[in-house]
């Protein structure tokens, strides 16, 4: 059996949203924390200040309504005493139903809180290597420094560390207009693996024109040179010629529309995102269109006229590990139980998702130091669903995921009542899990 570590000191690398939560939750339970943040001496290409928990883009943490998946996540984080949410509530600005903050006041407040909080020792230094004998939490985020990335590959293996997100949108199966689509994979009409959205010539060219004219997110300078030919955004493929998509990701080859007996001009394929089949991935639709543009342009596709997006597409620089193959459910590396990871680097997507895993990794580290077992919340809760998803070996290939009802597991429940049941079950199972964690001094 592993020997109980004789230390009450933990290194947290990275003072972003996940690192701050991890340091705060460990320190508030009496653990001494060395929090290492490389800014301002080494900056990333997106951060602008030396402040901890700086928000690099939007100032919104999305919706707060507990009837939504984002709201449930926040509810659980509040129950776990999230410092990020505590400060967000104090620095919020009016934004309708969303929780948005004054970004400077938010980061400034967090920085002051951490600086004044014993026993956190804030060290402004770029970490370039990992000592696996020291209990360590790695929370260096999507823009992990180059030197550290190199060292990280010695723990993860080079082929288990990725540098780019090329995310296709995921849509809610219930919102697809089934009369307009048909099942079947290429050359195999009986297969139920794919749903096909057929386009005639007119629909295809109208779609291409809208796609080319739509608003795109501008890539950062550091992202421009790094696009891989193998996963180009669809609008980039379309810009190479109006027919290029029809010969690429939306080619109709091998697919006959059973309603007409003919091969359509083009076909957008949707692939099951999970075993339940309640969410579909738009195959090959990684994109830099803005979210409103995705909503408008992709709803032009036959069958998707009133589709609900569970996740929008994106393409951006993002360092993340192949968690399903190298991370355990307690967020430690399979080979090194005292080295744990949290935040965007483990393949959760978004500010809140990252911060939530910072809380969980702190509890997991606490359990490790006390030499007691640790289990994350069950997959029917919002935080548990995220952790389950990123550590599920069946998820292949792995791409980062944000919170949505599609990943919250609730076996054997009819679809029509699914959302209500998810919310009811979440409340019950999350409370049960919290009660079971009293031994970790969670409250």
Ligand X SMILES: Cc1cc2nc3c(=O)[nH]c(=O)nc-3n(C[C@H](O)[C@H](O)[C@H](O)COP(=O)(O)OP(=O)(O)OC[C@H]3O[C@@H](n4cnc5c(N)ncnc54)[C@H](O)[C@@H]3O)c2cc1C
Residue ranges binding ligand X (CB under 6 A)? 13-19, 36-39, 44, 46-47, 56-58, 126-127, 139-145, 148, 220, 316-317, 343-345, 350-351, 354
Question: How many Cα atoms sit within 13 Å of 232 on the Cβ side?
Answer: 13
Specify the residue, 13 or 85, whose C-beta has the smaller distance to ligand X: 13
Q: Which two tokens stand for residue 441?
A: 């001094």
Specify the residue, 182 or 351, whose C-beta has the smaller distance to ligand X: 351
Degrees to nearest 5, angle at CA 165 with 172 and 326: 95
Q: How far is the CB of 111 from ligand X (least distance, A)?
A: 11
Specify the residue, 100 or 369, whose C-beta has the smaller distance to ligand X: 100
Q: How far is the CB of 193 from ligand X (least distance, A)?
A: 31
Q: How far is the CB of 158 from ligand X (least distance, A)?
A: 18
Q: What is the dihedral of CA 111, 114, 120, 122, to 10 degrees?
A: 10
Specify the residue, 75 or 103, whose C-beta has the smaller distance to ligand X: 103
| 98 neighbors 124 (Cβ within 8 angstroms) | no
Q: How far is the CB of 381 from ligand X (least distance, A)?
A: 20
Q: How far is the CB of 352 from ligand X (least distance, A)?
A: 7
Q: How far is the CB of 297 from ligand X (least distance, A)?
A: 20
Specify the residue, 139 or 385, whose C-beta has the smaller distance to ligand X: 139
Specify the residue, 34 or 409, whose C-beta has the smaller distance to ligand X: 34
Q: How far is the CB of 201 from ligand X (least distance, A)?
A: 38
β-strands 161-167, 32-37: how paired? unpaired
- The residue number with the shortest CB distance to ligand X is 16
Specify the residue, 150 or 420, whose C-beta has the smaller distance to ligand X: 150
Specify the residue, 15 or 284, whose C-beta has the smaller distance to ligand X: 15
Q: How far is the CB of 88 from ligand X (least distance, A)?
A: 12
Specify the residue, 38 or 310, whose C-beta has the smaller distance to ligand X: 38
Q: How far is the CB of 80 from ligand X (least distance, A)?
A: 16
Length of the chain, in residues: 443
Specify the residue, 108 or 380, whose C-beta has the smaller distance to ligand X: 108
Q: How far is the CB of 395 from ligand X (least distance, A)?
A: 19
Q: How far is the CB of 173 from ligand X (least distance, A)?
A: 25
**Cis preceding linkage at 398, omega within 30:** no
Gap between the Cα atoms of 100 and 103, Å rounded: 8
Specify the residue, 315 or 422, whose C-beta has the smaller distance to ligand X: 315
Cα 81 to chain centroid, rounded: 21
Gap between the Cα atoms of 382 and 23, Å rounded: 22
Specify the residue, 139 or 408, whose C-beta has the smaller distance to ligand X: 139
Q: What is the largest CA-CA distance in the chain?
A: 72
Q: How far is the CB of 62 from ligand X (least distance, A)?
A: 7
Any residues with CB less than 8 A from the CB of 267 and at least 6 apart, and which?
196, 197, 198, 199, 250, 251, 252, 255
355 to each of 11, 12, 61, 418, how far by Cα in Å? 17, 14, 11, 27
Listed residue (327, 310, 324, 345) closest to 398, CA to CA = 324
């Amino acid at each position: 059996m592993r020997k109980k570590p004789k230390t009450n000191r933990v290194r947290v690398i990275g003072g972003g949203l996940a690192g701050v939560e991890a340091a705060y939750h460990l320190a508030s339970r009496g653990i001494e924390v060395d929090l290492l943040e490389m800014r301002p001496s080494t900056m990333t290409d997106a951060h602008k200040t030396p402040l901890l928990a700086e928000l690099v883009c939007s100032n919104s943490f999305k919706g707060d309504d507990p009837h939504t998946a984002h709201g449930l996540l926040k509810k659980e984080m509040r129950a776990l005493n999230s410092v990020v949410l505590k400060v967000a509530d104090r620095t919020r600005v009016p934004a309708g139903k969303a929780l948005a903050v004054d970004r400077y006041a938010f980061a400034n407040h967090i920085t002051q809180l951490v600086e004044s909080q014993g026993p956190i020792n804030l060290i402004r230094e770029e970490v370039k290597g990992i000592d696996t004998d020291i209990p360590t939490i790695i929370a260096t985020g999507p823009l992990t420094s180059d030197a550290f990335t190199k060292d990280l590959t010695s723990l993860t293996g080079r082929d288990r560390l990725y540098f780019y997100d090329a995310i296709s949108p995921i849509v809610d199966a219930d919102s697809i207009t089934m009369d307009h689509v048909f099942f079947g994979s290429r050359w195999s009409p009986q297969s139920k693996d794919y749903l096909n959205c057929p386009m005639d010539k007119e629909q295809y060219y109208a779609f291409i024109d809208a796609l080319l004219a739509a608003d795109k997110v501008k890539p950062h300078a550091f992202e421009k040179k790094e696009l891989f030919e193998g996963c180009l955004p669809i609008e980039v493929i379309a810009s190479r010629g109006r027919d290029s998509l029809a010969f690429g990701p939306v080619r109709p080859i091998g697919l006959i529309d059973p309603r007409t007996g003919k091969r359509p001009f083009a076909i957008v394929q949707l692939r099951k995102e999970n075993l339940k089949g309640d969410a579909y991935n738009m195959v090959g639709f990684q994109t830099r269109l803005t979210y409103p543009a995705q909503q408008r342009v992709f709803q032009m596709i036959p069958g998707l006229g009133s589709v609900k997006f569970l996740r929008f597409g994106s393409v951006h620089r993002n360092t993340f590990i192949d968690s399903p193959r190298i991370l355990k459910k307690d967020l430690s590396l399979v080979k090194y139980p005292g080295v744990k990871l949290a935040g965007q680097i483990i393949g959760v997507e978004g500010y809140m998702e990252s911060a939530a895993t910072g809380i969980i990794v702190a509890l997991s580290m606490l359990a490790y130091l006390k030499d007691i077992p640790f289990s994350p919340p069950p997959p029917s809760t919002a935080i548990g669903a995220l952790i389950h998803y990123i550590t599920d070996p069946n998820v292949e290939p792995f791409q980062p995921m944000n919170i949505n009802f599609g990943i919250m597991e609730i076996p054997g429940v009819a679809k029509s009542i699914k959302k209500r049941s998810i919310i009811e079950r979440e409340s019950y199972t999350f409370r049960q899990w919290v009660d079971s964690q009293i031994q970790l001094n969670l409250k």
